[in-house]
Amino acid sequence: MAEEATGGLQIHPMDQFIVKPLFGGDAIHWYTPTNVTLWMAISVLCVVLLLVIGTRGRAIVPSRIQSVAELAYGFVYKMVEDVAGKDGLRYFPYIMTLFIFIVFANFLGLIPTAFTTTSHIAVTATMALGVFFFVTVLGFVKHGASFLRLFWIDQAPLVLRPILAIIEIISYFVRPVSHSIRLAGNMMAGHAVIKVFAGFAGVLGVGAVFPLAAITAVYALETLVAFIQAYVFAILTCVYLRDALHPHH
Amino acid sequence: MATETQVAEGAAHAAEQVGMPQLDFATFPNQIFWLVVTLVVIYFVLSRIALPRIGAVLAERQGTISNDIATAEELKLQAQEAERAYQKALADARAEAQRIVAATKAEIKADLDAATAKADAEIGARSAEAEKQIAEIRAGALQSVTEVAKATALDVVAAMGFRADPTVVDAVVDAKLKG
């Protein structure tokens, strides 16, 4: 690797996404503790710190951390209620789990040298497919075969309905793809861009101020994106949940 | 040899990861496993501890706030009630005061009337008595005048050298006095 380093501009923007075993070795089995494990554990720790330790006081007049925890709770609760409806509130803990995990994974990934678990399609696709199968099964359990009327749009003219049904079915099955790639893509792109600028900064000497300014700007944007993508993931989950609970438009 | 193979291995590894590590399917089971573990842990932490607790705190706060508002409302009503009672008491007191003033006035007037009447009566009595005395005095005076006149007439007649009959003189004097 030393030879490569001498070869001038060496930028490895994707190296930050490599999954490595924590305790040496090359083999990555399904159970191997890796940097994925480490950063997911840290996000669990943060969740516990914020939502359990932070609310330990159960104060009527909340402390700062408790009000942040209450804010997060209220934010997701209201989102579920507004988007999925009152009967969607039964699934509030699931959506809260997804949202709070993605928020922490995204923000922890912004720490320099950190590993961003949500930048991996394996992670986001697992969550998106989980949501997809959950709402599909839920739809059929709640409504039986009449769940299929989700694809049969009564308001449209009869001639158009079969065509719309095909489009609706395709879009239904594309959901997990867009749902997962949106999050992973956003995370990956932002971090890779920062890394590319960082690579420039390494070889430009005094001129490094420009890439550094760019890094600052992109970092600010990424901070916003980290929250927005978690929000988008959660709100789309609510939308899909609403479709499962109320398939008749 | 050993270093060579290591370098070769490293190169192969590097080459393998020139693309996106995201598409290195060998790491998928590992990531998915740890993700599921993470999500399950977070789910249990949230559903068993965090969410019920925060929900309870929010509900309790809501309850406290509505209680406080209700209490404030009640206190306000009580204050209004108290003000009404105060106003009523004030009005009652005014009416009572007026009533007392009127009663006192009436009493004083009655007393005054009685005193006036009594005084009038006394004045009447006194003046009647005075008149009576005056009448007596006048009657007394007339009598005396008659007697003096009779005596004087007798004396005058006697002085003139006549002897007069006193009964005649009396009759003449009476006639003169009547005249």
3-state SS of chain B is CHHHHHHHHHHHHHHHCCCCHHHCHHHHHHHHHHHHHHHHHHHHHHHHHHHHHHHHHHHHHHHHHHHHHHHHHHHHHHHHHHHHHHHHHHHHHHHHHHHHHHHHHHHHHHHHHHHHHHHHHHHHHHHHHHHHHHHHHHHHHHHHHHHHHHHHHHHHHHHCCCCCCHHHHHHHHHHHHHC
Show residues of chain A in contact with B60, CB under 8 Å: 58, 60
Are B42 and A101 contacting, i.e. CB atoms less than 8 angstroms apart? yes
Is A40 in contact with B37 (Cβ distance < 8 A)? yes
Tell me the β-bridge partners of A34.
Answer: A21
Q: How confident is the model at residue B3 (pLDDT cuts 50, 70, 90)?
A: very low
Average pLDDT, chain B: 86
Q: Are A112 and A194 in contact (CB under 8 A)?
A: no
Q: Which residues of B touch A41 (CB under 8 A)?
A: 38
What's the pLDDT band for B170 if we cut at 50, 70, 90?
A: confident
At residue A102, the pLDDT reads 96
Residue B179 — very low, low, confident or very high, per pLDDT cuts 50/70/90? low
Residue pLDDT, tens place only, B87-138:
999 999 999 999 999 999 999 999 999 999 999 999 999 999 999 999 999 8
Which tens digits make up the pLDDT trace of A104-113?
999 999 998 8
* Structure-token pair, residue A49: 């710190």
With contacts defined as CB-CB under 8 Å, which chain B residues touch A14?
Answer: 17, 19-21
Residue A56 tokens, joined: 């330990």
Q: Which of residues 102-161 of B touch A (CB under 8 A)?
A: none
Q: What is the pLDDT of residue B169?
A: 78
- pLDDT tens for B53-78 read 999 999 999 999 999 999 999 999 99
- CA-based nearest distance A57→chain B, Å: 10
At residue B12, the pLDDT reads: 43
Residue type, A113: T
What's the pLDDT at B18?
55
Say if CB A93 and CB B47 are below 8 A apart.
yes
- What single-letter amino acid sits at B53? R
Q: Is B63 on the interface with A (CB under 8 A)?
A: no
In this complex, which of B22, B35, B42 lies closest to A47 when CB atoms are compared? B42
The CA-atom distances, in angstroms, between A164 and each of A47, A78, A174 are 43, 32, 15
pLDDT bin (cut points 50, 70, 90) of residue B80 is very high
pLDDT score of B52: 94
pLDDT of residue A3: 40
Q: Which tops the pLDDT comparison, B161 or A140?
A: A140
The structure tokens 């104060």 sit at A59
Backbone φ and ψ of A56, nearest 5°: -60, -35
Given a cut of 50, whether residue B10 has pLDDT beyond it is no
Which residue stretches of chain A have pLDDT < 50?
Answer: 1-7
- Judged by a CB distance cut-off of 8 A, whether residue B36 touches chain A is yes
Check CB contact under 8 Å for A93 and B43.
yes
Percent of chain B whose pLDDT exceeds 70:
89
Residue A9 tokens read as 């501009």
Q: What are phi and psi of A143, to 5 degrees?
A: -120, -5
Put simply, whether B167 touches A (Cβ < 8 Å) is: no
